[in-house]
Structure 1
């Protein structure tokens, strides 16, 4: 698995009667999702910072894939139990650890700190803007589910090919595509919560976290390449 693309979250098509007004249940899911998302982002950032400070080595593609998909399976299995929340922290912490060596690489580049900060700022701005639109729009965005699922699968397979074939142009193209796909996922998942299509805040949190993670690493790759030119 590629550190710029760590997601294969399934965006299932909505099979519910869409409404344009958020009811009490949806508001509760949204509130719990944002609270847990904020905590997992902070925990992941702490794990990444610790990894950078200790200069921990990257676990490698095989261990990353096993760790990510193994924890993803467990989160999905225990999504309706308290253990699911603990497993979300385990997964996001693991992702933060794998991000540490990537950040170390970019921080050691010329203008590396500026590149990382720009990627963080761009990710935050995109998330706030996309979330705001998804919260206020009256449109049902469930039609995006099938397209996003196919796009994520294709991009994931292409990212694996880019790792083994070592083609810079392909890698950059994938990063640009992932930025668009993850932006779509943020819109889709937030709209799902608002309209009652996503009722489990644990899975909603994980979906948004992974989208933010991939959006950040893809922007970092694009900006890092630009700063090297």
Structure 2
């Protein structure tokens, strides 16, 4: 890509090789941190859903299927006004994290990212109440394959994807607005349209973000900005993590079998 070639202009062969080696280590850290975050999210979601549902009607607060009942914890999380806090907590968390990361050390930023992953797990734990475990696993596998292919393409392509960034971000804003509206009108066709557009938008963001992470690393490595490099892998992991989670959640609307 011409943009990356321009960044390397004037860099010696030895220095360029050092940057390339650092880039590989950087991307490994990005994907590794993201993977740990995903593990925390789904472990938290699965564990919490197990505490929220019981097959024993004694002391249960609400029935959700023929042989499943909400515990007091489940009712608080999914049926009381607290559900709105649970639903929007990750959004508030990620905005706060992005605003404060420049004041954090790399180690603190990593811990905060893992805390965010746990909060996201709490927020999406209801999927284990709504969809079968098999369909969740199948959707996760399909999302993983799609994500890997899109991220690999974003990393290796010579095409500059920066032009699509603004369009995709505008699409995300439009999605959020449409999702909030649909919380109140509960339109099935609008919900399916949102899911379809969500899959496409976050598929594009996966490739775009991967290329941006690569480009930004090279730009800062050329200038030796070590302080930035220490925290950039965490922010890169956050970006790809959000792409994966959103693509998974939107795909689940199509592929998930409901309980």
TM-score (structure 2 length as normaliser): 0.72
Task: Give the alignment's Cα RMSD to 1 decimal.
Answer: 2.3
Aligned CA distance change for structure 1 residues 104 and 19 (closer, same or farther; 3 Å): farther
Q: Which has the higher contact order (CA 8 A, sep 6+)?
A: 1
Which consecutive aligned stretches of 4+ in structure 1 deviate over 4 angstroms post-superposition? none
CA–CA separation in structure 2 for the residues paired with 1:113 and 1:78? 35
SS in 2 for 1:139: coil
Offset from partner CA, 1:167-197 (integer Å, 9 cap, x none) = 0100111011000111111101111122236
Q: Which residue of 1 aligns with 2:164?
A: 144
Of 115, 120, 123 in structure 2, the residue corresponding to residue 95 of structure 1 is: 120
Kindly report which structure 2 residues correspond to 1:63-212, keeping only aligned pairs within 5 A, or say none. Answer: 63-65=86-88, 67-76=89-98, 77-79=100-102, 81=105, 82-106=107-131, 112-196=132-216, 200-212=232-244
Q: Judge conservation of contact 1:19–1:195 (CA < 8 Å) in 2.
A: no
CA–CA separation in structure 2 for the residues paired with 1:27 and 1:140? 20
Offset from partner CA, 1:72-121 (integer Å, 9 cap, x none) = 13322125522211111111111111111122211xxxxx2332122111
Q: Which residue of 2 aligns with 1:34?
A: 31
Q: Which residue of 1 aligns with 2:60?
A: none
Q: Judge conservation of contact 1:141–1:188 (CA < 8 Å) in 2.
A: yes
CA–CA separation in structure 1 for the residues paired with 2:189 and 2:5? 43
Q: Which residue of 2 aligns with 1:13?
A: none
Q: Which residue of 1 aligns with 2:45?
A: 48
Unaligned runs of 5+ in 2: 9-18, 53-73, 219-228
Q: Judge conservation of contact 2:38–2:117 (CA < 8 Å) in 1.
A: yes
Which of the pair is proportionally richer in helix?
2
CA–CA separation in structure 1 for the residues paired with 2:242 and 2:208? 13
| Larger Rg computed on CA atoms | 2
Q: Judge conservation of contact 1:26–1:195 (CA < 8 Å) in 2.
A: no
Q: Judge conservation of contact 1:68–1:95 (CA < 8 Å) in 2.
A: yes
Q: Judge conservation of contact 2:86–2:122 (CA < 8 Å) in 1.
A: no
Q: Judge conservation of contact 1:183–1:215 (CA < 8 Å) in 2.
A: yes
The total of aligned residue pairs comes to 205
Unaligned runs of 5+ in 1: 1-15, 107-111
